[in-house]
Amino acid sequence: MTFPYRARTPIADVGLILEGTYPFVRGGVSNWVDQLIRNMPERTFSILFIGGAPSHYAGKLYDTPPNVVHLQEHYLAAPAPPPRRRAMLDRSVLEAAGRLHEGLRATPPSVTEADMRHVLRACTIDPDAMQSTFLHARWVWDAIVSRYRATTAESSFIDYFWTVRSTHAPLFGLARTLRGFPPARAFHTVSTGYAGLAGLALGACWNRPLILSEHGIYTKERIIELLQADWLVNRRDPKSNAEPMRDLWIQFFQGIGRLVYAGADPIVTLFEENRKRQIGDGAPPERTRVVPNGIDLGHYMPLRDVRPSRPPPVVALIGRVVPVKDVKTFVRTMRHVCAAIPEAEGWIVGPTEEDPGYAEECRGLVRSLGLEDRVSFLGFRDVREILPRVGLLMLSSISEAQPLVLLEGFAAGVPAVTTDVGCCRSLIEGADDEDRAFGSAGSVAGISDPEALARGALRLLRDPEAWKAAQAAGVRRVESRYTIERMIRAYESIYDQSTRDPWLASASNFANI
């Protein structure tokens, strides 16, 4: 069977597979993707956007530049239609799938590239056969029963069976979408999960490499979501007190993560701690590397000249109003700051549409703390309009990677107070001895600690000398280490290595795969 894509859409240099981000969601990762595309105008990009449900998104929030030659959407929540015919996957595919599952469960994971390619290619080329096999094949039923008996036989088989089906259900529709996605010289994804798996499948089909750039660690984020999931609470095994269904979901995402790590090369992340985490989760160390974020200094340096001489008593949280940013802790922090500096203001600058319920809770908290005239929700704004008017940036997030907004603030001469998440401490205090010599660009506090955040903010707002020293440290740090030129050079090199195969110069070669 041949791959059904017909080369009417231009073949891109890079096929970007993006889950829950650019161009339909605003945020750090989306801005990073936008930067990457715009700073490589000579390369063409095709984009596959993978989202939850269409209703979660309010259309495109970024104007895609002309070098984006194809944009396709896929929504995981959309139910897959029943298979059009009752074809089954080849026995060799099933055996390879069995070995693949066993290998993913092993510590350390042991997956052969041949099995991985064989399974992914077969499932993508013939999604109907994949679906029929998964739903009806005796072999799959036997595999589920045997796995159930070996692991969770004390709990309900019905729960186990339907959990296995639920975890795999989104893959049927995704495989159908991948059949229509145009080939590219390399595929690039910014997460593991469904996007990583899709990138891996496309890479297997077109025999092209998959580049993985993880900002946050996708598997970790899914695990945290699953641990909080109320719909899994009542499925505890009364004897062992374990939660097998929750564990099954977690194992599913861990398995995808391991598969993507096994197939991606290179595996890029933003800072050293995340690289170690990737290795701990199964990434081969020799394929991992760190490429920090970078910003266009030219956009932000002029803002330093329009700043007032003394820091305005304005503390800004620039980011989406979503739980992971812990905006409520920012509001509580502002209560302490305003108690000490009555003229102080807190600005929350970022879109509120992503989680309207949470945004309303934050507004309610502002009202209940009597801060209506001190804390404002400004919505999405151009940061270059905001930065000259604020004295401090604050990030109260419970999870971050390497926030671009801190780098933008430093470049514009605004120190920051952050929680100790991701590489925020390195950005504030320096990553190594040479970097630390620049000094501290603000202060760091534990998560969910408004008093400590307020102490850090007050120290800088009340002491202009300390504020100026922090400003100077931030400027020196961003200028020496976090420029867009460095980042783009690194990705140019990665793309060059991944796309230089001369065999790929002709689109007709793809059609013969």
Partner 1 sequence: MKALLRACGQISFLAVDLWFLYEALAGSRRDALEMAALAVAHFLATLGFALLATERLGNNRLSAVFVVTAAGTFVPVVGLIGAAVAIRLAGMPADPCPEHACSLFDAAPRGAKVGRTADVPMSRLRAVLRARAEPKQRIAALLEAGKLDARSAIALYKAALKDPVDEVRLLAFSKIEGHRREIEGRIASLRVSLDDQQDPTRAAVLHHRLAEAHDQLAFSGLVEGDALRDALERAADHARIASRTECAGRGSVLFTLGRVLLRSGALDQAQLAFDEARACGVPSRRTAPYAAEIAFRTRNFSRVRAYVQYVGGMRRNQTRFRNVVAFWR
CA distance 150 to 139: 16
Q: Does 447 bind partner 1 (CB under 8 A)?
A: yes
Sheet of 442-445, strands arranged across: 375-377, 345-349, 314-318, 392-395, 416-419, 442-445
Q: Does 41 bind partner 1 (CB under 8 A)?
A: no
Q: Is the peptide bond before 23 cis (omega within 30 degrees of 0)?
A: yes
In angstroms, the CA 140 to CA 189 distance is: 30
Distance of closest approach, residue 277 Cβ to partner 1, in angstroms: 8
Q: At its nearest, how many Å lie between partner 1 and the CB of residue 108?
A: 17
Q: How far out from the chain centre does Cα 386 lie? A: 26
Region label for 70, one of left (φ > 0), alpha (ψ between -120 and 50) or beta (otherwise): beta
Among 128, 243, 354, 408, binds partner 1 (CB under 8 A): 243
User: Does position 107 bind partner 1 by CB under 8 A?
Assistant: no
Question: Which range touches partner 1 (CB under 8 A), out of 150-158, 222-230, 281-289, 464-472?
Answer: 222-230
Residue from the set 101, 220, 299, 476 that interacts with partner 1 by CB under 8 A? 220
- Is the CB of 383 or the CB of 417 nearer to partner 1? 417
Smallest gap from Cβ 224 to partner 1, in A, equals 5
Closer CB to partner 1, 204 or 338, in the complex: 338
Q: Is 108 in the site for partner 1 (CB under 8 A)?
A: no
Q: Least distance to partner 1 from the beta carbon of 282, Å?
A: 16
User: Which run of H or E residues covers position 368?
Assistant: helix 356-368
Footprint of partner 1 on 290-349 (CB under 8 A): 323, 326, 328, 332, 335-336, 339
Q: Which of 2, 241, 309, 512 binds partner 1 (CB under 8 A)?
A: 241
If the CB atoms of residues 341 and 472 are measured against partner 1, the closer one turns out to be 341
Residues 416-430: b if buried by 16+ CB within 10 A, e if exposed: bbbbebbbbbbbbbb
Torsion angle in degrees (nearest 10) through CA of 199, 204, 207, 211: 30
Q: Which is nearer to partner 1, 135 or 398 (CB)?
A: 398
Using CB under 8 A as the binding rule, whether residue 72 contacts partner 1 is answered as no
- The residue (of 227 and 507) whose beta carbon lies closer to partner 1 is 227
Q: How many angstroms separate the CA atoms of 334 and 337, rounded?
A: 5
Shortest distance, position 445 Cβ to partner 1, whole Å: 11
- Write down the least CB distance from residue 223 to partner 1, Å: 6
Handedness of CA 441, 444, 450, 456 (dihedral sign): negative
CA dist., res. 22 & res. 185, Å (int): 21
Closest CB to partner 1 among residues 301, 447: 447
CA distances, 27 to each of 137, 351, 413 (Å): 43, 9, 21
What is the DSSP code string of 136-153? H-HHHHHHHHHHHHHH-T
Cβ closer to partner 1: 121 or 246? 246
228 scored as a contact of partner 1 (CB under 8 A): yes
Count residues contacting partner 1 (CB under 8 A)? Answer: 28
75 closest CA partner among 44, 51, 42? 51
| Shortest spacing between CB 337 and partner 1, in angstroms | 11
Query: What residues are paired with 19 via a beta bridge?
Result: 50
Task: List Cβ neighbours of 253 (8 Å cut-off, separation of 6 or more).
Answer: 193, 218, 219, 222, 223, 226
To partner 1, the closest distance from the beta carbon of 104 in angstroms equals 18
Q: Which of residues 141-160 bind partner 1 (CB under 8 A)?
A: none
Contact window for partner 1 (CB under 8 A) among 123-131, 363-371, 401-409, 423-431: 363-371
Cα–Cα dist 104/261, whole Å: 11
Q: Provide, rounded to whole angstroms, the least separation between the CB of residue 107 and partner 1.
A: 13
Q: Is the peptide bond before 266 cis (omega within 30 degrees of 0)?
A: yes
Please say which residue, 90 or 361, places its beta carbon nearer to partner 1. Answer: 361
Instruction: Give the number of other Cβ atoms within 10 Å of residue 54's Cβ.
Output: 12
Q: What is the DSSP letter of 387?
A: G
Site for partner 1 in 364-393 (CB under 8 A): 364-365, 368-369
Please tell me whether residue 356 binds partner 1 under the rule CB under 8 A. no
Q: Which is nearer to partner 1, 459 or 476 (CB)?
A: 459
What is the smallest separation between the CB atom of 456 and partner 1, expressed in angstroms?
Answer: 15
Cα separation, 368 vs 294, in Å, equals: 39
Binders of partner 1 among residues 394 to 433 (CB under 8 A) are 398-399, 421
Interface residues with partner 1 (CB under 8 A) are 220, 223-224, 227-228, 241, 243, 323, 326, 328, 332, 335-336, 339, 361, 364-365, 368-369, 398-399, 421, 446-451
